[in-house]
């Protein structure tokens, strides 16, 4: 056909050439664009990996603390000062049963100047609406009502079985929400999109209501209020953060103390009890098991259903029998965390685990069966475990507690109890949910922007009577204009790198000596490979160090890393400027600041924020010897003496420890 | 990124392999040496390669199992990707070449491309963008007041991230 229109052939070939050029240009632009998007996706993913690795490393530290409490009890010369960690505090006697409501009404005055909501029991929907309205306007509920609400909640929870059975025949759909972590905006958004709880609109909240976010207290108040109004239609499962020792580290204790100066201690005491009465799991139509973490190869639902759940106030402290066992055979269950030097030689055994099942140590075979221990392990596993795609059940080495369970473990449990689906929470998911084990296991996570604005969506599940799940995703945004992907990744990345740099700085001396081992000629420079290996051996975060290198350390033109450059622009704050404090000591205090804060808070029985110099230095010595830290006792004594400003023999440890954190010297610049 | 001056070819290969494993592991959520097949493009590109979609499909064919599972195993991916990096296939697109490409779509050489024209070229020609990709690009590239893309500015915004 082309030959018949010869004259046009010439001009069309010009047009062809032009369009060919345009097509080539389009391909090039498309290629380049997909490349930049891929790089962006990589940055987003490694940023989330950084957040998650640091979070799990922190959880490991937290679980290690329980070992230390045991150690402390064995070595403390004044056992009275710590033994109360292990015995139920006098809360239940203090705030016992029945009289609660009227007692608080008599004892605690609500002044006329209080303009927040006033509750009257039994609660009605009107009260719940008043609470929602008040919290949207950032009001506080008066301590009297909080305490009354908690008493009532405990009374109702006590009536409930460990495992709640629901049926979809009463309503069309049941909504299941995962971790909220003090993010009130997420809860309000869920209610806005999905409606308030009612007889027709049933909910299951799957644990981790508190910690991390700013409004844990408000979330609890709303959930408990609806629980009292609709005890058959709103259900709560306990999460691993409904635990007072976890709350000491992750912010809820601080939140309560700050919001309720006079009655904070009472509220916290009562909450310990309320948390311990939260049901452990929910089963819908005998087919769908809902619990916070997961299962292990020993999970026994009948046993879990029969145990006395409120005995376990905190999973962070194993029952006394574990302690006794440790006492008898220290080599079997080590109490100490291996020092990093040992860890370097033996990466496989990088931390000690608190885990019941699948552990390399079949502890059960040596020990006489102990009901308390079994109860603790059973609950630990369902609140802390994560699913994995490999078969089997292995200790959860990232978190340090619970286990990883494979599809075979899920299948076995399903067969035994004739189940169809497991819905669990406990793990951050960028999309708010994830499906694993061939559709049998669903993770639901309801806290959006968990690590940083824009880091993830939240989601909830609508389960219909056919037990088909439908996912609803959402994301709370404080920006009026939606950020584009590039801006969002920028925000997430800089925040992730900031936390990582702080972590790096807190390990400065260990890293420096690890680098030096590769720097045989003392040039201050090592290869990228050696740098990456040194970073991983010390920090053990399993991060893509080679990829992160350009963000963390400077490379010379010859391709070698100037290793000290990763410490530039950072320093550790200190309370006392004039006294010369040993750098190694400052680093130790910085690194274990959170642990020490929790330990001192536990020792400080009357929550005064003060402990004696003697208690301080004795605990410090125990702690450092437990961890195998080479610390100069004399210099800590000197340091502590110097902060006893009024020389009354007591120090404000919170204020003292608060000072030891990593400071970014160029903070202003980075934030602009 | 500058390559390390290794002591020999083996060192260079070992170093490249480590880089690939790192990038792979970022997407290996379950730590079981597999990633979703849809992530392979991100992994290959984040290692500094600029494959076209067609080239990416060729590469996928080499690393996929005989019966595709939707997942790619590291042991299959590693040797193929190592060769790609050693051969320096899928060479980077320099900034000036990219600029020329935009200029080729800007027939009147006025320094901008209208939204309609850019959308037409990029969603209908070559290896067309999906709706999502197009919208995403426009969210950064488009000047909402004039409804045009000033491509010089856009390129400099996008390349500033690449440190």
Residue in A36, A490, A555 nearest the CB of B158: A36
Rg of chain A's alpha carbons, rounded to an integer? 28
Q: What are phi and psi of A542, to 5 degrees?
A: 50, 50
A452 and A541 both lie in a single domain: no
Q: What pLDDT is recorded for position A635? A: 75
Q: Is the pLDDT of residue A119 over 60?
A: yes
A48 and A110 both lie in a single domain: no
A171 and A245 both lie in a single domain: yes
Q: What pLDDT is recorded for position A350? A: 35
Q: Give domain status of residue A578, yes or no.
A: no
Q: What percent of chain A has pLDDT over 90?
A: 53
The more confidently predicted of residues B35 and B32 is B35
Q: Is the pLDDT of residue A328 over 50?
A: no
A240 and A152 both lie in a single domain: yes
State the DSSP code for A359. Answer: -
Q: Is A236 helix (H, G, I), strand (E, B) or coil?
A: strand
Which strands make up the sheet holding A386-387, listed edge to edge? A386-387, A403-405, A393-395
A175 and A285 both lie in a single domain: yes
Band (pLDDT 50/70/90 cuts) for residue A606 is low
Q: Give domain status of residue A70, yes or no.
A: no
CA distances from residue A163 to A209, A300, A301, A414, B79 in whole angstroms, order as listed:
19, 12, 8, 16, 51
Cβ-Cβ contacts under 8 Å, B104 against chain A = 21-22, 24-25
Average pLDDT, chain A: 83
Nearest CA in chain A to B38: A38
Across A129-133, A309-313, A614-618, B51-55, least confident range:
A614-618
- Shortest Cα–Cα distance, B114 to chain A (Å): 15
Asked if A547's CB is within 8 angstroms of B46's CB, the reply is yes
Nearest CA in chain A to B97: A28
Band (pLDDT 50/70/90 cuts) for residue A14 is low
Q: Is the pLDDT of residue A62 over 90?
A: no
pLDDT, one tens digit per residue, over A542-560 is: 999 999 999 999 999 988 9
Nearest to A78 by CA among A490, A597, A622: A622
Asked if A23's CB is within 8 angstroms of B18's CB, the reply is no
A146 and A258 both lie in a single domain: yes
pLDDT, one tens digit per residue, over A419-428 is: 999 999 999 9
Q: What pLDDT is recorded for position A568? A: 84
B 93-152 residues with CB < 8 A to A: 93, 97-98, 100-102, 104-105, 121-122, 125-129, 133, 136-137, 139-140
Across A66-70, A519-523, A616-620, least confident range:
A66-70
pLDDT, one tens digit per residue, over A355-410 is: 444 443 434 444 456 788 899 999 999 999 999 988 999 988 777 788 999 999 99
Q: Is the pLDDT of residue B79 over 90?
A: yes
Last residue of a domain, one of A549, A564, A579: A564
Q: Is the pLDDT of residue A347 over 50?
A: no
Across A481-485, A633-637, A664-668, B127-131, least confident range:
A664-668
ipTM given for this complex: 0.94
Q: Give domain status of residue A382, yes or no.
A: no
Nearest to A201 by CA among A152, A225, A235, A224: A235
A256 and A304 both lie in a single domain: yes
Nearest CA in chain A to B40: A38
A121 and A52 both lie in a single domain: no
State the DSSP code for A4. Answer: G
Q: Is the pLDDT of residue A73 over 90?
A: no
Residue in B26, B42, B125 nearest the CB of A49: B26
Q: Is B159 helix (H, G, I), strand (E, B) or coil?
A: helix
Domain count for chain A, please give it: 3
pLDDT, one tens digit per residue, over A195-207 is: 999 999 999 999 9
Q: What pLDDT is recorded for position A329? A: 37
Size of interface A-B (CB pairs under 8 A): 140
Cβ-Cβ contacts under 8 Å, B44 against chain A = 38
Q: What pLDDT is recorded for position A462? A: 97
pTM: predicted TM-score of the whole model, two decimal places: 0.83
Q: What contacts B147, CB < 8 A, 6 or more positions away? A: B114, B115
Q: A285 near A467, Cβ under 8 Å?
A: yes
Q: Is the pLDDT of residue A320 over 70?
A: no
Q: Give domain status of residue A384, yes or no.
A: no
Asked if B32's CB is within 8 angstroms of A390's CB, the reply is yes
If you count DSSP H runs as helices and E runs as strands, how many of each does chain B have, helices first?
Answer: 8, 5
Band (pLDDT 50/70/90 cuts) for residue B103 is very high
Q: Is the pLDDT of residue A141 over 80?
A: yes
- Shortest Cα–Cα distance, A178 to chain B (Å): 20
Cβ-Cβ contacts under 8 Å, B125 against chain A = 22-23, 26-27
A51 and A113 both lie in a single domain: no
Last residue of a domain, one of A456, A474, A492: A474
Nearest CA in chain A to B128: A30
Q: Is the pLDDT of residue A591 over 70?
A: yes
Q: In whole angstroms, what is the distance from residue A37 CA to residue A31 CA?
A: 10
Q: Is the pLDDT of residue A217 over 90?
A: yes
- Residues of A serving a catalytic function are 241
Cβ-Cβ contacts under 8 Å, A485 against chain B = 136, 139
Residue in B46, B52, B162 nearest the CB of A31: B52
A189 and A291 both lie in a single domain: yes
Give me the CATH number covering residue A191: 3.60.21.10
Q: What pLDDT is recorded for position A400? A: 73
Q: Give domain status of residue A81, yes or no.
A: no
Q: What pLDDT is recorded for position A278? A: 98
Q: Give domain status of residue A447, yes or no.
A: yes
A25 and A173 both lie in a single domain: no
Structure tokens at A366: 């040596």
Testing the interface with B: which of A16, A17, A34 to mutate, by most B Cβ within 10 A? A34
Tell me the β-bridge partners of A176. A204, A461
Q: What percent of chain B has pLDDT over 70?
A: 93
Nearest to A232 by CA among A209, A199, A201, A206: A199
Give me the CATH number covering residue A541: 1.10.238.10
Q: In whole angstroms, what is the distance from residue A514 CA to residue A536 CA?
A: 10
In which domain, by residue range, is A239 found? 99-316+412-474
Q: Is the pLDDT of residue A259 over 70?
A: yes
Band (pLDDT 50/70/90 cuts) for residue A638 is confident
Q: What pLDDT is recorded for position A609? A: 73
Nearest to A276 by CA among A162, A399, A106: A162
Q: What is the mean pLDDT of residues A131-145?
A: 96
Asked if A390's CB is within 8 angstroms of B30's CB, the reply is yes
Residue in A25, A31, A557 nearest the CB of B50: A31
A158 and A283 both lie in a single domain: yes
Band (pLDDT 50/70/90 cuts) for residue A130 is very high
**To which residue do tokens 């399993």 refer?**
A542
pLDDT, one tens digit per residue, over A276-295 is: 999 999 999 999 999 999 99
Structure tokens at A628: 């195998």
Structure tokens at A183: 């993010």
pLDDT, one tens digit per residue, over A78-100 is: 545 555 544 444 444 444 555 57
Q: Give domain status of residue A427, yes or no.
A: yes
pLDDT, one tens digit per residue, over A170-198 is: 778 999 999 999 999 999 999 999 999 99
Q: Give domain status of residue A654, yes or no.
A: no
pLDDT, one tens digit per residue, over A501-558 is: 989 988 988 999 999 999 999 999 999 999 999 999 999 999 999 999 999 999 999 8
Q: What percent of chain B has pLDDT over 90?
A: 71
Residue in B1, B30, B42 nearest the CB of A550: B1
Q: B40 near B63, Cβ under 8 Å?
A: yes
- Shortest Cα–Cα distance, A149 to chain B (Å): 42
């Amino acid at each position: 056909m082309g030959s018949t229109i010869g004259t046009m052939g010439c001009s069309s070939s010009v047009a062809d050439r032009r369009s060919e050029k345009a097509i080539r240009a389009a391909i090039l632009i498309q290629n380049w664009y997909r490349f930049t998007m891929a790089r962006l996706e990589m940055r987003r993913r490694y940023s989330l990996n950084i957040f998650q690795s640091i979070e799990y490393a922190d959880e490991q530290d937290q679980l290690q603390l329980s070992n230390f409490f045991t150690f402390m009890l064995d070595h403390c010369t004044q056992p009275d000062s710590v033994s109360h960690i292990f015995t139920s505090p006098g809360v239940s006697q203090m705030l016992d049963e029945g009289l609660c409501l009227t007692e608080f009404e008599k004892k605690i005055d609500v002044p006329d100047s209080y303009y927040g909501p006033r509750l009257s029991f039994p609660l009605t929907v009107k009260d719940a609406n008043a609470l929602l309205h008040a919290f949207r306007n950032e009001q506080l509920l008066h301590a009297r009502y909080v305490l009354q609400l908690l008493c009532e909640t405990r009374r109702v929870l006590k009536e409930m079985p460990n495992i709640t059975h629901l049926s979809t025949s009463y309503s069309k759909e049941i909504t299941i929400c995962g971790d909220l972590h003090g993010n009130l905006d997420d809860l309000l958004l869920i209610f806005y999109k999905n409606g308030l709880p009612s007889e027709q609109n049933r909910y299951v909240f799957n644990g981790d209501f508190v910690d991390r976010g700013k409004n844990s207290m408000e979330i609890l108040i709303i959930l408990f209020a609806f629980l009292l109004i609709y005890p058959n239609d709103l259900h709560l499962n306990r999460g691993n953060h409904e635990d007072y020792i976890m709350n000491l580290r992750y912010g809820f204790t601080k939140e309560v103390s700050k919001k309720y100066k006079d009655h904070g201690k009472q509220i916290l005491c009562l909450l310990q009890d309320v948390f311990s009465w939260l049901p452990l799991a929910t089963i819908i139509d005998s087919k769908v098991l809902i619990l916070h973490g997961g299962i292990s190869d020993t999970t026994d639902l009948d046993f879990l259903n029969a145990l006395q759940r409120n005995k376990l106030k905190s999973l962070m402290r194993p029952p006394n029998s574990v302690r006794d066992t440790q006492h008898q055979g220290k080599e079997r269950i080590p109490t100490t965390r291996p020092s990093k030097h040992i860890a370097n030689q033996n990466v496989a055994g990088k931390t000690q685990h608190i885990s019941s099942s699948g552990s390399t140590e079949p502890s059960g075979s040596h020990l006489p069966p102990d009901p308390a221990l079994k109860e603790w392990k059973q609950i630990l596993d369902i609140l802390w475990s994560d699913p994995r795609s490999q078969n089997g059940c292995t200790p959860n080495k990232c978190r340090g507690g619970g286990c990883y369970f494979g599809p075979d473990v899920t299948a076995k449990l399903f067969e035994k109890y004739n189940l169809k689906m497991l819905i669990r929470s406990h793990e951050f998911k960028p999309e708010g949910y994830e499906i694993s084990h061939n559709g049998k296991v669903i993770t639901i996570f309801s806290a959006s922007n968990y690590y940083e604005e824009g880091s993830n969506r939240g989601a909830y599940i609508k389960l219909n009577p056919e037990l088909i799940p439908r996912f609803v995703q959402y994301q709370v945004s404080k920006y009026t204009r939606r950020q584009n992907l590039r801006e969002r990744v920028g925000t997430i990345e800089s925040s992730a790198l900031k936390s990582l740099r702080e972590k790096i700085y807190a390990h400065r001396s260990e890293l420096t000596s690890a680098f030096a081992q590769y720097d045989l000629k003392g040039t201050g420079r090592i290869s990228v490979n050696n740098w990456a290996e040194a970073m991983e051996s010390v920090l053990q975060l399993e991060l893509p160090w080679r990829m992160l290198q350009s963000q963390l350390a400077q490379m010379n033109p010859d391709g070698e890393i100037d290793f000290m450059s990763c410490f530039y622009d950072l320093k550790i704050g200190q309370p006392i400027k004039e006294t010369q404090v040993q750098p190694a000591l400052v680093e130790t205090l910085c690194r274990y600041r959170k642990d020490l804060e929790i330990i001192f808070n536990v020792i400080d029985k009357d929550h005064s924020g003060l402990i004696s110099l003697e208690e301080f230095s004795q605990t410090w010595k125990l702690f450092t010897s437990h961890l195998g830290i080479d610390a100069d006792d004399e210099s800590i004594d000197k340091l502590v003496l110097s902060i006893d400003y009024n020389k009354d023999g007591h120090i404000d440890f919170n204020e003292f420890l608060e000072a030891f954190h990593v400071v970014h010297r160029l903070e202003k610049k980075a934030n602009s | 990124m500058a390559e390390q001056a290794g002591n020999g070819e083996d060192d260079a290969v070992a170093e490249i392999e480590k880089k690939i494993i790192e990038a792979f592991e970022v997407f290996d959520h379950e730590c079981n040496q597999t990633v979703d097949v849809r992530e392979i493009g991100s992994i290959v590109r984040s290692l500094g390669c600029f494959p076209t979609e067609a080239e990416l499909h060729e590469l996928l064919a080499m690393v996929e199992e005989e019966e595709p599972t939707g997942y790619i195993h590291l042991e299959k991916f590693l040797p193929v990707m190592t060769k790609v990096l050693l051969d320096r296939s899928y060479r980077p697109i320099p900034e000036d070449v990219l600029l020329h490409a935009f200029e080729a779509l800007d027939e009147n050489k006025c320094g901008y491309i209208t939204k309609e024209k850019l959308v037409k070229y990029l969603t209908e020609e070559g290896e067309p963008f999906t709706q999502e990709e197009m919208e995403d690009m426009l969210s950064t590239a488009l000047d909402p007041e004039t409804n045009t893309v000033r491509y010089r500015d856009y390129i400099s915004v996008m390349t500033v991230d690449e440190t």
